[in-house]
Structure 1
Amino acid sequence: MHTAINHRPLAPRQAEALAYRARGLSNKETAEAMRCSVANVTNLLAECFYKLHARNSTEAVAKAVKHGLIQFALLACVLSGMGVDAQDQLRTRFQRRPTVRTIRIRNNREGIA
């Protein structure tokens, strides 16, 4: 049986922070765009995750769009207020090579990894 989860509405600043995240901006870049601290952005996004019952940014954005809490029109409004420098940062952000992380696993005494 599938039960629908009721989502609480997002505050305007929460929706704005999530809209920037939807466009791929980091917390630092979002803080610069919103003219606030990185800690403030972190708190805004944490509240979004809590309200949306989301584990990460991707899930939060998907749920917010699905339930009409943020809209693509909002994303357009946010982006239209960005300067040329911020738009260039967005463009180059997606051109960077992905970071590859290596995880080392120690063998235990039985030789099982």
Structure 2
Amino acid sequence: MNTAKHLRPLAPRQAEALTHRARGLSNRETAQAMQCSVTNVSNLLAECFYKLHARNSTDAVAKAVKHGLIQFALLTCVLSGIGADAQDQLRTRFQRRPTVRTIRIRNNREGIA
């Protein structure tokens, strides 16, 4: 049975709330962005879960993106807040820093340190 046939389309505000959730915003941050109450956001997301047959936010976002119900560009989320010197910021943000670890040897019976 193909579940794509049974998915109901999302209302514009539901899609907006789910898109904010996909960007990693909390219900409170989503409410501020949408200029509504936190309860309204919770209700909008609950309707999304119902329409998409989703168990949680991650499942709902994955299904909505897969079926084209919301547009979500990962690149936009990664690059948000990066200014003109994006390459330098990306290089320092994702640069792997070396880790130095000190290991103490206890009860060294052979006297080798």
Unaligned ranges ≥5, structure 2: 81-113
Is residue 70 from structure 1 mapped to residue 70 from structure 2 by the alignment? yes
Query: Could you say which structure has the larger radius of gyration?
Result: 2
AA matched with 1:61: V
Alpha-carbon shift at residue 71 of structure 1 (Å): 1.2
Q: TM-score under structure 2 normalisation?
A: 0.62
Cα distance in 2, alignment partners of residues 28 and 4 from structure 1: 35
1:4 is aligned to: 2
SS in 1 for 2:69: coil
Deviation at 1:72, TM superposition (A): 2.3
Residue in 1 aligned with 2:109?
Answer: none
Distance 1:55 1:69 in 2: 17
Q: Deviations over 1:11-68 (max 9, x none)?
A: 0000000000000000000000000000000000000000000000000000000011
RMSD: 1.4
Unaligned runs of 5+ in 1: 81-113
Partner residue, 2:40 = 40
Moved over 6 A (4+): none
| Distance in structure 1 (CA, Å) of the matches to 2:36 and 2:28 | 9
TM-score by length of 1: 0.62
